[in-house]
Amino acid sequence: MSDAATALAQEPSKRRERGGRSARRELRSHGPEGLGRPYILRNIPTYDILSEESLVRIEATADRILAEIGIEFRDDPVALDHWKRAGAKIDGVLVKFEPGMLRELLKTAPAEFTQHARNPANSVIIGGKSVVFSPAYGSPFVMDLDKGRRYGTIEDFGNFVKLAQSSPWLHHSGGTICEPVDVPVNKRHLDMVYSHIKYSDRPFMGSVTAESRAEDSIDMARIVFGEDFVNRNCVILGNVNVNSPLVWDATMTTALRAYARANQAAVIVPFILGGAMGPVTNAGAIAQSLAETMAGCALTQLERPGAPVIFGNFLSSMSLRSGSPTFGTPEPAIGSMVVGQLARRLNLPLRCSGNFTTSKLPDAHAMNEGTMSMLAAVHCGANFILHSAGFLDGLLSMSYEKFVMDADFCGALHTYLDGVKIDDNELALEAFREVGPGSHFFGCAHTMQNYETAFWDSEIADNEPFEKWEAAGSEDAAIRANRRWKRALAEYQAPPLDEAIDDALKDFIERKKASMQDAWY
């Protein structure tokens, strides 16, 4: 990573709107020791769970899946043509790859790249030691304690963009934070991308549900950043899913090629529910994920060598009792850590997911599973962590309360990923000399010099004595979170947006919307 990138990551971000905080909190976040940053540079090692020998066996299995079973690329003759010219074996839509071929193709993909934000202070590095937290993606429903569950709307969508922008602990505005079901399916992407640009000045994601929608998303980014800049720099991501097992369909391959063609980063993500879209055994599902992701990533390089691309994964398990998918369980947590090692061996930026759960409420169940999955994501070395905030009910609902709980936990992870500093001040030998046996450190010079930045201080946790907590109404964390998101929305202030750009975006959207009938599928 360049020195400039390091400086960028370490400089506290200036643009956050955080009215109503105490002066001490302000000092923590904006001072030289401030924890809020445009992204995290991890200062703790990745957790390498498997031996070299075991990793080689998984890679060999992936190679055999690719060579002996193959992957179908359906309804996309351009993709098939790419593979043919690259030397793959084509039989109808089935493509087989000699061992090593995809690895060779992936060598043109960058190990890390910058995704630019419209506010340059918020640009993020994706790859290397960087960690970027992005909200959850793709729920049809939203929920909160007051109104319960209902379909998401474009207003909800905007609210979540505002909540993400308001949090010092998220780094990315995300993509389809929730489905705005009050907008026609074929026009939604325009309003979603506009909301990201208008209400946030952080990096964001565009549409992938059709090639034309991917291109509209990129065109809107061109209005913001300029055509030439976009051709030379990554400013938008597109999250494309494999149709597991072992099928890439044209919707996804044309979208991923649209992003690659424009030099924008596709995120390549097999969604494998063990026992359904992949084997019920973890090692097999991981091998499959590796095979499918390598194929998708390599296709971006055939479309445009050197285009940024992110190696993704989404492993999950199944309940034996109900047959339902499960999230935040131990098997996918272990899976994330193995995938992390595999991605590093390919020298590609890694996407994982965190804060997963099947819970329908922002309760103990939600945060137990969420915390386990999120810690796996940060331990495995993920660079871009989707679903970092809001995820409930197996990705069916975005929760307002869980969003702010998760964002708060992302704050804790800023401290966690800083690890432990070792220097004379931190080792504090002078403090021991000052205090000695049997006394206390409350007012000692070392404490006074260090306490303001010493500890992570959650906004959701209640650390007060029981009696004080009880006198204040015996609230649980969900009720505190409910108040927290309402305050954040009330205090939200939009980041400035150049009027000419805003007008050009509105004009683009109006023309696009006028050019087609509403479609609801």
d(CA 253, CA 269): 12
Q: Which CB sits closer to its own copies, 203 or 274?
A: 274
| Crossing angle of the two packed helices 52-64 and 330-346, in degrees rounded to 10 | 80
> Can you tell me the distance from the alpha carbon of 106 to that of 305, in angstroms, rounded to the nearest whole number?
9
**Site for its own copies contains 371 (CB under 8 A):** yes
Question: Least distance to its own copies from the beta carbon of 376, Å?
Answer: 9
Check binding of 89 to its own copies (CB under 8 A).
no
> At 330, is the secondary structure helix, strand, or coil?
helix
Query: Which range binds its own copies by CB under 8 A, 105-113, 119-127, 239-247, 513-521?
Result: 239-247
Beta strands in 380-498 (DSSP E): 384-386, 391-392, 397-399
Residues between 321 and 350 with contacts to its own copies, criterion CB under 8 A = 321-322, 324-326, 329-331, 333-335, 338
Give the Cα separation of 93 and 492 in Å (integer): 50
> For residue 395, what are the CA distances in angstroms to 142, 229, 360?
10, 35, 10
With contacts defined by CB under 8 A, name the span among 98-106, 183-191, 256-264, 470-478 that binds its own copies: 470-478
Give, as ranges, the residues between 102 and 131 that touch its own copies (CB under 8 A).
Answer: none
Q: Which of 478, 488, 505, 509 binds its own copies (CB under 8 A)?
A: 478
- Which residue lies nearer to its own copies by CB, 167 or 397? 397
Name the DSSP class of 362: S
Q: Judged by CB under 8 A, which of 23, 320, 500, 514 binds its own copies? A: 320
Alpha-carbon distance of 293 to 250, in angstroms, equals 16
Smallest distance from the beta carbon of 94 to its own copies, in angstroms?
7
Alpha-helical (H) ranges within 65-210 are 77-86, 101-105, 154-166, 188-199
Mark the segment that binds its own copies (CB under 8 A) among 11-19, 198-206, 344-352, 457-465: 457-465
Least distance between its own copies and beta carbon 422 (Å): 4
Q: Is 32 in the site for its own copies (CB under 8 A)?
A: no
β-bridge pairing 141-144 and 397-399: parallel
Between 98 and 510, CB nearer to its own copies: 98
Binding mask 397-416 for its own copies (x = CB under 8 A): x----x--x---x--xx-xx
Contact set for its own copies, span 130-149 (CB under 8 A): 149
The answer to whether residues 451 and 431 touch, using CB atoms and an 8 Å cutoff, is: no
Give the Cα-Cα-Cα angle 33, 462, 377 (nearest 5 degrees).
60
Spatial separation of the C-alpha atoms in residues 367 and 265, rounded to whole Å: 31
CB of 181 or CB of 236, closer to its own copies: 181
**Is position 61 an interface residue for its own copies (rule: CB under 8 A)?**
yes
Q: Which is nearer to its own copies, 212 or 458 (CB)?
A: 458
Footprint of its own copies on 415-454 (CB under 8 A): 415-416, 419-423, 425-429, 431-433, 435-442, 446-447, 450-452, 454
Pattern 197-236, its own copies, x by CB under 8 A: ----------------------------------------
Segment lying near its own copies (by CB under 8 A), choices 78-86, 180-188, 365-373, 495-503: 365-373
Pick one of 8, 58, 178, 488: the residue that binds its own copies (CB under 8 A): 58
Kindly give, in sequence order, each residue whose CB lies less than 8 Å from that of residue 379, ignoring residues fewer than 6 positions away.
46, 47, 336, 337, 340
Helix boundaries (H) for 42-153: 52-64, 77-86, 101-105
Q: Does 379 bind its own copies (CB under 8 A)?
A: yes
Task: Give the separation between CA 444 and CA 430, rounded to whole angstroms.
Answer: 10
Minimum Å gap between C-beta 465 and its own copies is 7
Amino acid identity, residue 34? G
- Dist CA 289 CA 381 (whole Å): 17
Site string for its own copies, 263-282 (x = CB under 8 A): -----------xxxxxxxxx
The CB-of-515 to its own copies minimum distance in angstroms stands at 34
Q: Write out the E strands in 19-169.
A: 40-41, 71-74, 89-91, 94-96, 112-115, 124-127, 130-133, 141-144, 148-151
Selected binder of its own copies within 47, 121, 210, 501 (CB under 8 A): 47
Can residue 487 be called a binding residue for its own copies (CB under 8 A)? no
Q: Is 156 in the site for its own copies (CB under 8 A)?
A: no
Q: Shortest approach of its own copies to residue 137 CB, angstroms? A: 19
